[in-house]
Chains A and B, each alone.
Chain A
Amino acid sequence: MKQNTTIAVAMSGGVDSSAAAAILAREGDGSVDSRPSVVGLTLQLWDQTRLAGKHGIPDTPKAGRCCSLDDVYDARRVAEQLEIPYYVVNQEERFERDVVRPFVDEYLAGRTPIPCSLCNNHIKFDQLLKTARSIGADRIATGHYAVNEYDSARGRWILKRPADQAKDQTYFLFGLTQEQLARTLFPLGHMTKPEVRGAARRHGLALAEKPDSQEICFVPGGDYKQFITAYLEEQGDASLETSGELVAANGEVIGQHTGIHNFTVGQRKGLGVASAAPLYVLNIDPASHRVTVGADAELATPTVRARQLNWVSIAELTGPKRVRVKIRHRHEPAWATLEPAGTDEVLATFDEPQRAVTPGQAAVFYDGDEVVGGGWIV
């Protein structure tokens, strides 16, 4: 494919994307013949003041949140320092439609969503890429920790775990299509986090020591339950009732709860019942609003089913395949045999049962460092 040499860097105002911009603008993209021209783009996704004053949300937003004026300021200062054109692109409506609303709906349906993956699939590598191409850039770059390489033997773009395994973000990127990967650069894929901070320092970026953010960007203070209540209040859905019974594995009712969105499979704290042995959420039934709790041992599950699949290193799954499966961000991938199970669905049978398989999370399949593909746990 003929590539032009304009690259749009998605800049969040954090260290990683700022370092990625600095590396591309000052050192190039590794191509020998020419230096790319770099354009900085910041996505404006969520108005941090929007739910201020609603249910438990402070009147003034916390500083340093995604899309806060502070972060846009930081990103703009980096772009100014690098002397690259810089623009803020407003995607608030799409972000609400494709990320925030589904995030709330998933919790209300008893599942545990991953908004970052939704954002990657629908906003960053979809809308942002479209905007980038509209303005004359053929590729985008982000500060994700992942490696993206073209394998001519297979004729496919391969997504791989990065040099810094502790920062690995491939779990959130499994939904990238071949077309998207072909137009995406991850300049930090071969660097460790300390090396990235070193690059930020070397390029004189004032935010080189800025702390990492861990929270969901649109949830102030990280309390998603509070966010959901405040959001529903704003939408006029405050009466939405998902309270129900807390039951033991044998069906005995042992308590009441105020709403299924307050629970996640494997959760121990905040169940509101006393018990001799620690209790964990085993299951959330969206139809009856019943939350089943039980002992830790009962969380172990031998299989996982996933739908809405995206394949990365293979064109499709035609038969059983040995892979390692990652079922949540902080999960150590576990060996399993993967096989097709109907249209757009796969079944993974673990060698050892895995704890807390959680509907709404992603199951991502690895072959060594390569992402084979992934889907959403049902």
Chain B
Amino acid sequence: MRRVYCDANATTPLLPEVMEAMRPYWMEDFGNASSIHLQGQKARSAVDNARDTLARFFNCRDAEVVFNSGGTEGDNTAIFGLLRPGDHFITTSIEHSAVLRAADRVAERGVEVTFVAPQKNGVIDPEEIKRAIRPATRLVSVMLANNETGVLQPAEEIGRIAADAGAFFHIDAVQGAGKVAFDVRRFGCHLCSISAHKMHGPKGVGAMYVRRGTPLEPLIVGGSHERRQRAGTENVPGIVGISKAVELAMESLNNGAMERIERLRDRLEAGILAIPGTRVNGAGAPRVANTTNIHFDQVEGEALVIALDLKGVAVSGGSACHSGSTEPSHVLMAMGLERNAARASLRFSLLKTATNEDVDYVLRVVPEAVEHLRALAPEVAGTLG
């Protein structure tokens, strides 16, 4: 059976170039980047080169790049590393749980937290951030693109508001990085977290932009790696992998690849919207090119995900990090969807390597599956309130 993977926002496969770039660093050039000898120097050189690439990607200095284990660590570091009891923290109700659960924890420890809700289209209104600002506001953290809807947030405007208030600004750019033009200076942020595996790099490695002078306390202490910002022996193959991944991402932002994905996504979306009783969550808002989140009236989303998987189409009902949880998507609920409507929504997120044939196949399978579900048990859909 043909398999079409439409869950790029959960994770992506390595591109062959990434695999090749990483290959020498497992067995031949295996050194510890902190060692004095030749093996160590080879590893150090690889890490330095990667840092240089990441600095170009972020548009920052080399010294402002910190490698870590991924998006969750970056988000946690920003929140735990800056906030102390008595501080005020502003974030949004549509963040990834790496931000939300960290916010809960600092709240338990005496930090005041404000969760700003999005508008119905999924966009955070910068004016709402402005209204939430207090004298004690120390940190504002907002995602660049939402993982479930793909909706882009007005990072620059929020950056200006944070700057005016003298607050630090962190961007969770895990889903936006590699999909939209990227520049931490334009965003006006002090901190920015990205993850390799969302852009065809390896799992377990990420990077963070830390603006010079930001008093960020490290989350992990030990050796003096990463200029004492992040202890632990450098994951050299992973760092080489994220470097290659962002290099390729920068290329695809300039060579028309994103426009191609956007056309495929639009065709996919239009095809699915031809099914009666469907609508796009986040319609009308600026979105990343590869994502669409669609509500299917009178369908149990969980059953549709399974049915599509058994027909060879991999999609998700929301964030993969929430699977198994009872609650419908907190993002869609924050956008004003009822519990049942949130449950009846699916995310399609295309890989950079998606093809016309992939979309053709999805558009053959999805309408059949939806029709089958609706015909079978109209009474089961949406029966719970």
- CB within 8 Å of B: which residues of A? 6, 39, 44, 47, 72, 85, 87-90, 92-94, 97, 127, 130-131, 133-136
Residue of B nearest to A126 (CB): B380
Which stretch in B263-271, B276-284, B369-377 binds the other chain?
B369-377
Name the residue on A nearest B311 (C-beta): A136
Q: Is the CB of A134 within 8 A of B326?
A: no
Interface residues of B in 287-324 (CB under 8 A from A): 300, 302-304, 306-307, 309-311, 323-324
How close is B310's CB to chain A, nearest CB, in angstroms? 6
B384 within 8 A of A: yes
The answer to whether A87 and B306 touch (CB under 8 A), given A93-B384, A130-B377, is: yes
A residues within 8 A CB of B384? Answer: 93-94, 97
A85–B307 alpha-carbon span in the complex (Å): 11
User: In the complex where A93-B384, A135-B310 touch, is A88 in contact with B324 (Cβ < 8 A)?
Assistant: yes
How far does the alpha carbon of A94 sit from the alpha carbon of B379 in the complex, in Å?
A: 14
A136-B307 in contact given A94-B384, A130-B380 (Cβ < 8 Å): yes
Check A134 against B307 for contact (C-beta < 8 Å): yes
* Shortest beta-carbon distance from A90 to chain B in Å: 6
In the complex, how many angstroms separate the beta carbon of B262 from the nearest chain A beta carbon? Answer: 31
**Residue numbers in B under 8 Å from A92 (CB-CB):** 326
B326:A90 contact, CB within 8 angstroms: yes
- Complex interface: chain B residues within 8 A of A97 (CB): 384
Provide 26 A-B residue pairs closer than 8 Å at the C-beta atoms, listed in order of the A residue: A39-B310, A44-B326, A47-B326, A85-B310, A87-B309, A89-B302, A89-B306, A90-B324, A90-B325, A92-B326, A93-B384, A127-B380, A130-B377, A130-B380, A131-B302, A131-B303, A131-B306, A133-B376, A134-B300, A134-B303, A134-B373, A135-B303, A135-B307, A136-B307, A136-B310, A136-B311
Can you list, as one digit per residue, whether each of B339-373 has a CB less than 8 Å from chain A (1) or not (0)? 00000000000000000000000000000000011
How far is A136 from B368 in the complex, measured between Cα atoms in Å?
A: 11
B326 contacts A93, C-beta separation under 8 Å? yes
Q: B309 to A85, Cβ gap below 8 A?
A: yes
Q: Is the CB of A90 within 8 A of B302?
A: yes
Residue on B nearest A6 in the bound complex, by CB: B310
Among A39, A93, A136, residue most surrounded by chain B Cβ atoms (within 10 Å): A136
Distance in angstroms between the alpha carbons of A72 and B380 in the assembled complex = 25
- A72 — which chain B residues lie within 8 A by C-beta? 324
Provide the bound-state CA to CA distance between A89 and B380, in Å. 14
B383: nearest residue on chain A (CB-CB)? Answer: A94
Residue of A87, A89, A135 with highest tally of chain B CB at under 10 A = A135
Q: Which residue of B lies closest to A90 (CB)?
A: B326
A46 to chain B, nearest CB (A): 10
CA distance A89 to B373 in the complex (A): 16
- The minimal Cβ–Cβ distance linking B179 to chain A, given in whole angstroms, is 29
Q: State the Cβ distance, B7 to closest chain A Cβ, in Å.
A: 15
Which of A39, A94, A97, A131 has the most chain B CB atoms inside 10 A of its CB?
A: A131
Q: A90-B324, A93-B326 are in contact. Are A134 and B309 (CB under 8 A)?
A: no
Most chain A beta carbons < 10 A, residue from B302, B306, B311, B323: B306
Across-interface contacts of A90 in B (CB, < 8 A): 302, 324-326
The answer to whether A44 and B380 touch (CB under 8 A), given A85-B309, A135-B303, A136-B307, is no
Residues of chain B contacted by A6 (CB below 8 angstroms) = 310
The distance from the CB of B317 to the nearest CB of chain A, in whole angstroms, is 10
Residues from chain B with a CB closer than 8 A to the CB of A133 are: 376-377
Q: Which residue of B lies closest to A88 (CB)?
A: B324
Q: B residues within 8 A CB of A135?
A: 303, 306-307, 310
Q: Pick from B311, B324, B325, B372: contact of A134, CB below 8 A.
A: B372
Contacting residues, chain A, for B304 (C-beta < 8 A): 134
Known pairs A88-B324, A90-B324; A134 contacts B377 (CB<8 A)? yes
Q: Contact partner of A136 among B300, B323, B326, B372, CB < 8 A?
A: B372
Bound CA–CA A133/B303 (angstroms): 9
Which residues on A sit within 8 Å (CB–CB) of B306? 87, 89, 131, 134-135
Q: Which residue of A lies closest to B309 (CB)?
A: A85
- Measured CA separation A6–B372 after assembly (Å): 15
Chain B positions within 8 Å of A127 at CB level: 380
**B148 CB to nearest chain A CB (Å):** 18
CA of A39 to CA of B372 in the docked complex: distance in angstroms?
18
- Bound Cα distance A93, B324 (Å): 13
Minimal Cβ-Cβ distance residue in B for A37: B310
From residue A85, how far is it (CB to closest CB) to chain B in Å?
6
Which residues of chain A are near B324, meaning CB under 8 Å? 44, 72, 88, 90
Q: Which residue of A lies closest to B339 (CB)?
A: A93
How far, in whole Å, are A130 and B307 apart by their CA atoms in the complex? Answer: 12
**What's the least CB distance linking A38 to chain B, in Å?**
12
Using A88-B324, A97-B384 as known contacts, list a sample of 14 further A-B pairs with CB atoms less than 8 Å apart, ordered by residue number in A.
A44-B324, A47-B326, A87-B306, A89-B306, A90-B325, A90-B326, A92-B326, A93-B326, A131-B302, A134-B300, A134-B304, A134-B376, A135-B310, A136-B307
Contacts of A131 in B (CB 8 A): 300, 302-303, 306
Chain A residues whose C-beta falls within 8 Å of the C-beta of B323 in the assembled complex: 88
What chain B residues lie within 8 Å of A85 (beta carbons)?
Answer: 309-310
Question: What is the CB-to-nearest-CB distance from A152 to chain B, in angstroms, rounded to a whole number?
Answer: 27
Write the chain B residue with the least CB distance to A85: B310
Complex alpha-carbon distance, A87 and B309, angstroms: 10
| Closest Cβ neighbor of B379 among chain A residues | A130
B380 cross-chain contacts in A, Cβ below 8 A? 127, 130, 134
Per the bound structure, the CA–CA distance linking A289 and B49 in Å amounts to 79
Complex Cα spacing A345 to B377, Å? 30
Query: Using Cβ atoms and an 8 Å threshold, which residues of chain A touch B303?
Result: 89, 131, 134-135
B309 contacts across to A, CB distance below 8 A: 85, 87
In the complex, what residues of B have CB within 8 A of residue A136's CB? Answer: 307, 310-311, 372
Query: Smallest Cβ distance from A121 to chain B, in angstroms?
Result: 16
Q: How far is the CA of A88 from the CA of B326 in the complex (A)?
A: 11
Residue in B closest to A47 when the chains form the complex, CB atoms: B326
Min CB–CB distance B319 → chain A (angstroms): 15
Closest B residue to A72 using CB positions: B324
How close is B83's CB to chain A, nearest CB, in angstroms?
27
Shortest Cβ distance from residue B46 to the other chain A in the assembled complex, whole angstroms = 36
Q: Which residues of B contact A39 (CB under 8 A)?
A: 310
Contacts of B372 in A (CB 8 A): 134, 136
A135 vs chain B, min Cβ distance (A): 4
| Interfacial chain B residues near A130, Cβ < 8 Å | 376-377, 380
| In the complex, residue of chain B having the shortest beta-carbon distance to the beta carbon of A69 | B324
- The minimal Cβ–Cβ distance linking B385 to chain A, given in whole angstroms, is 9
A45 to B42, CA, bound (A): 54
